[in-house]
Each structure stands twice: as structure tokens, then as C-alpha cells.
């Protein structure tokens, strides 16, 4: 793979399915990772999982909205 192919892959628009996958990843982080950190009594890991989960959800929703408005 040369640099021209790599740059075309990196600048390609993200699909709606990819945005849904990111939202699902955020939901996973909020449910499974937070519960695991709580069970193991790791407050920093719990906070990180919460922040990361919400960040993934927000990014996924923004990508979905961008796809809806871009046509």
C-alpha cells in the first residue's frame, strides 16, 4: 500500500454504520466496563470508562447527524 492509497482511505467519509458501531462501543463501555470497575473497586477505571463511554456516544451521534445532513 503506497501513501496515495493510505491518504485516500484516511480522508474518506465515515459511514452511518461506522457511527452506529461507535455508539454501541460507548454503550458497552458504560455497561460492562463500568460494572467491572465497580465490582473490582477501581474508582479511576470506573470514571475513565464513564467518560470514554459518553465520549464515544457523543462522537457517534455527531457522525450520524453529519451523515444525515451531508446527503
- Convert the pLDDT of each residue in 33-69 to its tens digit: 999 999 999 999 999 999 999 999 999 999 999 888 8
For residues 64 and 29, what is the distance between their CA atoms, to the nearest angstrom? 19
CA distances from 14 to 26, 40, 58 (A): 17, 36, 15
Q: Let me know if residue 52 belongs to a domain.
A: yes
Q: Is the pLDDT of residue 8 over 80?
A: no
Please report the pLDDT score of residue 53 as a whole number. 97
Residue 20: domain span: 14-70
User: Is the residue at 6 inside a domain?
Assistant: no
Q: What ranges in the chain are assigned the alpha helix state H?
A: 3-10, 16-28, 34-39, 43-70
Q: Is 12 a residue whose pLDDT tops 80?
A: no
Tell me if 49 is assigned to some domain.
Answer: yes
Q: How many domains does the chain have?
A: 1
User: What backbone torsions phi and psi does residue 65 show, to the nearest 5 degrees?
Assistant: -65, -40
pTM assigned to the model: 0.80
Residue 71 predicted with pLDDT over 70:
no
Amino acid at each position: 500500500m503506497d501513501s496515495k492509497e493510505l491518504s485516500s482511505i484516511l480522508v474518506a467519509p465515515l459511514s452511518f454504520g461506522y457511527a452506529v458501531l461507535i455508539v454501541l462501543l460507548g454503550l458497552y463501555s458504560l455497561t460492562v466496563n463500568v460494572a467491572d470497575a465497580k465490582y473490582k473497586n477501581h474508582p479511576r477505571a470506573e470514571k475513565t470508562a464513564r467518560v470514554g463511554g459518553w465520549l464515544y456516544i457523543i462522537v457517534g451521534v455527531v457522525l450520524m447527524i453529519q451523515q444525515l445532513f451531508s446527503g
